[in-house]
Amino acid sequence: MLSGILIFNQKGENLIFRAFRNDCRPRLADIFRIQVISNPQVRSPILTLGSTTFSHVKHENIYLVAVTKSNANAALIFEFLYRLVLLGKSYFGKFDEEAVKNNFVLIYELLDEILDFGYPQNTETDTLKMYITTEGVKSAIANNPTDSSRITQQATGALSWRRADVKYRKNEAFVDVIEDVNLLMSATGTVLRADVNGQIVMRAYLSGTPECKFGLNDRLLLDNDAAGPGGSTRGGSLGGGENKMGVGSAKTRAAAGSVTLEDCQFHQCVKLGRFDADRIISFVPPDGEFELMRYRATENVNLPFKVHPIVREIGTTKVEYSVAIKANYSSKLFATNVIIRIPTPLNTAKTTERTSQGRAKYEPEHNNIVWKIARFSGGSEYVLTAEAALTSMTNQKAWSRPPLSLSFSLLMFTSSGLLVRYLKVFEKNNYSSVKWVRYMTRAGSYEIRF
Amino acid sequence: MAMNKIRGAFAVPRKGETFELRAGLVSQYAYERKEAIQKTIMAMTLGKDVSALFPDVLKNIATTDLEQKKLVYLYLMNYAKSHPDLCILAVNTFVQDSEDPNPLIRALAIRTMGCIRVDKMIDYMEEPLRKTLRDESPYVRKTAAICVAKLFDLSPGMCLENGFLEMLQEMIADPNPMVVANAITALSEIHEAAPETQALQVTPNTLRKLLMALNECTEWGRVTILSTLSEYRTSAVNEAEQICERVAPQFQHANPSVVLAAVKTVFLHMKLVNAELAKNYLKKMAPPLVTLVSSAPEVQYVALRNIDLLLQKQPEILNKELRVFFCKYNDPPYVKFQKLEIMVRIANDRNFDQLLAELKEYALEVDMDFVRRAVKAIGQVAIKIESACERCVNTLLDLINTKVNYVVQEAIVVIKDIFRKYPGYEGIIPTLCKCIDELDEPNARAALIWIVGEYAEKISNAGDILAGFVEGFNEEFSQTQLQILTAVVKLFLKRPDKAQGLVQKVLQAATAENDNPDVRDRAYVYWRLLSSTSDSNAARNVVLSKKPPIVTTIHSLPPTLLEQLLTELSTLASVYHKPPEQFVGQGRFGADAVQKAAIEEQLQNARENPLAAAAAAAVSGTAPPQQQNNVENLLDIDFDGTAPASAHKEPNGGVSGLEGLAGTPVRVESPAAGAPAGSNNLDDLLGVFGDSGAASSTAASAPPNGGAGADLLNGFGGLDLSGSSMSSPPPVPGPSQPKKTNEDIMSLF
């Protein structure tokens, strides 16, 4: 498995060097620096030299490198490196060169704990935080034998993600449904690709060991339990839509507002066997915030914004833009932080913009006109007209016309039409709990070609 | 305050740093000692040699401060080798710690002991290890389980004598899932290092336990258990069914490596279950595979390479998912290239419209490499799907009309392949001929000349075009020269009246003024053929013979290799599409024998002049086996004088035998990288050998048909060193190679 973990800054200085096996030598750091960091031609995250393989991930201004000597599991290595980044972020807020330099002792400690002989062990942030702590909070518990035996029980137990003795006066659970909608639209206005990557984040403040059951308006589930509580009331926005899956009674359900999830991925607390058998999501949640599930939906995606760009290149000295954007959701809702990035040719000298709403600004460093609309209420339509004057160049190279891109966030709206139907909490103390649900749709990669 | 001091250690070293550290380490104040230890570790990270401080650091080992203890242990692990005798002083603390009431400290002690690779330490490990393996805390047990693997690595004999292996095997039945996972991990490592121990034998009984632990252990543990399950070979249908049934739910796990491991396990065991069920599983694994495509780019890359393999075996699984593989504008290039490959694999007669529109879009981007691959992909679609051909040709013509130099060149190469498969597109030849002046790459020029020669009877000014090329014959690249020769001869055979003078001229130029043996030989052969009086049709039969049509230009792996790689899913081998022997040194577990052999070699190297020996081996290309090993060792970056690593690599027959002979360093770059062939950007360490090695590999070991011929001949066209295996065989040597060899072989008779 892994022979060592190395961390470098952008200059190629070795910040962390932790060997887990005998075959990881200090000079490998130099080889990585020469072969990858100072070699601009490298275009692959994996490089094998001799029998040594370097797999690296870049985050902020540091390189995280895993060294292996065997035919290791590449997927696991990268996932582990990303987990390390996640750990770093949750420990230090930001995981960059500064953080690594200031906390190198802690990082060595962490590496010692999450890898043994190059095999990943427990990488759950919450569990680790119980006995590997930053300097401010002294690890009093870790030095106390009884406490630490409890910790170690948890670190290896079947419920490695939850302490047993959690207590809250008020039992609450917050569910955030966050959807990233991806769009790729061709220059002629046909939708090449539209799909939704959703995640459901939960913040659970529940006492004891609660067993939760979670229900969505998932089409397959609704088909399964005909006796389920009545469907949703949001059928309108979904429309009939075509029915690719062709699951028996699906067409009737589609009208009632169910959603077809192409695929779901769950936090390790979810009992996968249960879901596989009867599509019921049941779990014992970790304490605090965690990502319960991720899902993907590709059918009947509601696009919150329609964009019509008209871009004309006039001769070799001028480009004219006219971009219209229309909000395609109920007028009761409004999107915030709508940002439209309109690419300009590399040799743009100066631009003039006029907008019917919001502000537009030319950003020469990104070759973009950035149009910001702070609040975009449903149903409205805004227009930008702009002109970019170009400097003449000796070797006229065609402009590649990168796609126009959008970012926004829109509350109480889900592009896929997904709804939380219920969240039930069962606990032996039988307390009552309060649950909150919030929906949000953001732009993933929302690109329009022109 | 303390922060600043730590950061200060990154600055330029001041005078007498070691001295200062030593003073700190023996200070009477605890906080000063701790700070000094931290600074020592920092210096160690920076690559400074602080081994001289060993005794002083060691004095700080007996402490109640857990953090400080960990730092001292870290130091010990790094420098134990340099002071093996002093390590004994630490033993007492370790043994004490392993009986500490605090399980964290017990685990830490046993974990660290295993990492101190000193012979004397091993003798003291037996007792603590035995105790911790039976510890009441699962945390300690899981750590001890891994420690057995560490001990086996150091001293297999001692590990076996003391029955640790049996204890480890018993731990598969442990009630704690994480202990089970680590026991499996350790056993499979031992099994791999020394198969004769039969360390990991999956029986129906252990199988049940594994399946049980699977649902309860951590994500990483699941990966371990899943890979063990995937290596388990069963012949019982019900067992395979059971495995698939229990593993399939893991498709929904949030961790991509778990998902891939589950896919691998189900895919391998699926063969045994009935067809209906197997189809069901295939259907079930498609959505999770697609989801992997939206993960982080590096993970995505691994996933894409694996999907590529799966598609070669089961082309239908992702039939409907074409759009998912559309490239995003800011995808890193290695992801984009792989997505292109996959899109072409998925292409069928229902979705090619969509695909072509998308590929055309890519062909207008600016990244030259990507654009070329997109154009090539259009050609692959045309040859794969007959009904798509016309659309493809039109798209290519559109692209040619953009007049972007590299697009035009690539398009012409692609169109040549289309001509070889489908007749009836001769009408576009005039458009192609218009671009003749823009072509400056040998591939594109050769392709166009081939077209002109092939359709000489239909091109009225073929003679003029070829005359232009003959004019500058000696300035062309040799592959273009070969095509000019053939094209002129074809023209002559088709229209003898027009090309009489031309053929004379070109044969003269190729034989008298050219120093490339391939070109000269071919010219002589043609000359003979043409002047043969016995059979006037001989030349015609050979040169204008009917060519076998090409079937596909999509690169596929040979079936046996594919089967092997499918058992390696999600490993590095699956990313490289190469068997692991090609990039993993043998005997990596540093068994004593290998260590000794390496040391002896090193001594011998010291006696001779290593540079000279290596260079000689590289140049001669036929070095005796022993010297050859030296070369390998010098090239392997493991080799650093202090303790030679396990780089005792034998050239493993077949494919890599070639590299071994020539002494070329085995540099495996990810295929997507498309690095310039072989060794020209090796670092200074390897540069000397790299260059001479590469040179000699063509000069000494390549058969006269040219470099690519070697690969084609042994049937592993995709496995060449340069890592360009992603693309189909290089355009001209590839598709026209059979023809060329055909002609050459036939003309010999």
Angstroms from A442 CA to nearest CA on chain B:
16
Q: What is the pLDDT of residue B705?
A: 38
Angstroms from B31 CA to nearest CA on chain A:
13
B447 or B8, which is more confident? B447
d(CA A105, CA A119): 21
Is residue B532 very low, low, confident or very high in pLDDT (cuts 50, 70, 90)? confident
Give the chain A residue whose CA is nearest to the CA of B111: A116
Please tell me whether residue B421 adopts helix, strand or coil conformation.
helix
Find the length of chain A.
Answer: 450
- Does the beta-carbon distance from B38 to A272 stay under 8 Å? no
A14 interfacial to chain B (CB closer than 8 Å): yes
Tokens read off for A313: 């290149």
**Mutation for testing the A interface, residue in B219, B337, B565, B682 having most A CBs under 10 Å:** B219
Q: Which of A203, A237, A231 is nearest to A215 (CA)?
A: A231
Give the chain B residue whose CA is nearest to the CA of A24: B638
Chain A, chain B: beta-carbon pairs less than 8 Å apart: 320
**Mutation for testing the B interface, residue in A53, A101, A105 having most B CBs under 10 Å:** A105
d(CA B94, CA B110): 8
Are the C-beta atoms of residues A30 and A50 closer than 8 Å to each other? no
Q: What is the pLDDT of residue A370?
A: 94
Angstroms from A285 CA to nearest CA on chain B:
14
Model confidence over B544-597: pLDDT tens digits?
888 887 888 888 889 999 999 999 999 999 999 988 888 876 544 434 444 455
Alpha carbons within 13 angstroms on the beta-carbon side of residue B647 total 28
B551, with CB counted inside 10 A (0-12, 13-18, 19+), is exposed
How many CB atoms neighbour CB A429 within 10 A? 9
Tokens read off for A234: 């949001």
A312 interfacial to chain B (CB closer than 8 Å): no
- The amino acid at residue B345 is R
B404 interfacial to chain A (CB closer than 8 Å): yes
Phi then psi for residue A421, to 5 deg, are -90, -40
pLDDT score of B375 more than 90:
yes
Are the C-beta atoms of residues A323 and A308 closer than 8 Å to each other? yes
**Mutation for testing the B interface, residue in A186, A214, A265 having most B CBs under 10 Å:** A265
Is residue B68 very low, low, confident or very high in pLDDT (cuts 50, 70, 90)? confident
B84-93, B406-415, B700-709 — most confident range: B406-415
Find the length of chain B.
Answer: 749
Tokens read off for A402: 């990168």
**Mutation for testing the B interface, residue in A58, A83, A98, A116 having most B CBs under 10 Å:** A116
Report chain B residues whose CB lies below 8 A from the CB of A117: 114-115, 146, 149-150
Model confidence over B474-496: pLDDT tens digits?
888 888 899 998 999 888 888 88
Q: What is the pLDDT of residue A308?
A: 92
How many CB atoms neighbour CB B24 within 10 A? 20
Phi then psi for residue B106, to 5 deg, are -60, -45
Report chain A residues whose CB lies below 8 A from the CB of B666: 50
Strands (E), B73-207: none
Q: What is the pLDDT of residue B619?
A: 42
Q: Which of B314, B638, B9, B479 is nearest to A25 (CA)?
A: B638
User: A14: part of which helix (H) or strand (E)?
Assistant: strand A14-19
Angstroms from A259 CA to nearest CA on chain B:
16
Average pLDDT value for residue range B163-179 = 89
- What is the pairing mode between strands A172-185 and A62-68? unpaired
- Does the beta-carbon distance from B220 to A121 stay under 8 Å? yes
- Does the beta-carbon distance from B361 to A34 stay under 8 Å? no
Q: What is the pLDDT of residue B113?
A: 87
Model confidence over B273-321: pLDDT tens digits?
888 989 999 998 999 999 899 889 999 999 999 999 999 998 888 888 8
Q: What is the ipTM of this complex?
A: 0.81
The pTM (predicted TM-score) of the whole model is 0.78
Are the C-beta atoms of residues A291 and A201 closer than 8 Å to each other? yes
Average pLDDT value for residue range B89-104 = 86
Written as tens digits, the pLDDT of chain A (450 aa) is: 889 999 999 888 889 988 888 888 878 888 888 888 888 877 789 998 888 899 999 998 999 999 998 889 999 999 999 999 999 998 888 899 999 988 888 898 899 889 999 999 888 887 787 777 765 444 445 556 666 777 777 677 666 777 777 888 889 999 999 999 999 998 888 888 899 999 999 999 998 888 999 888 887 766 655 433 433 333 333 333 333 333 333 343 444 478 888 888 888 888 888 888 888 889 988 888 888 999 999 888 899 999 999 999 888 888 999 999 999 999 999 999 999 999 998 888 889 999 998 999 999 888 899 999 999 999 999 999 999 998 877 666 677 788 999 999 999 999 998 989 889 999 888 888 899 999 999 998 899 988
A252 interfacial to chain B (CB closer than 8 Å): no
A99-108, B169-178, B680-689: lowest mean pLDDT where? B680-689
Q: What is the pLDDT of residue A135?
A: 55
- What is the pairing mode between strands A281-283 and A334-343? unpaired
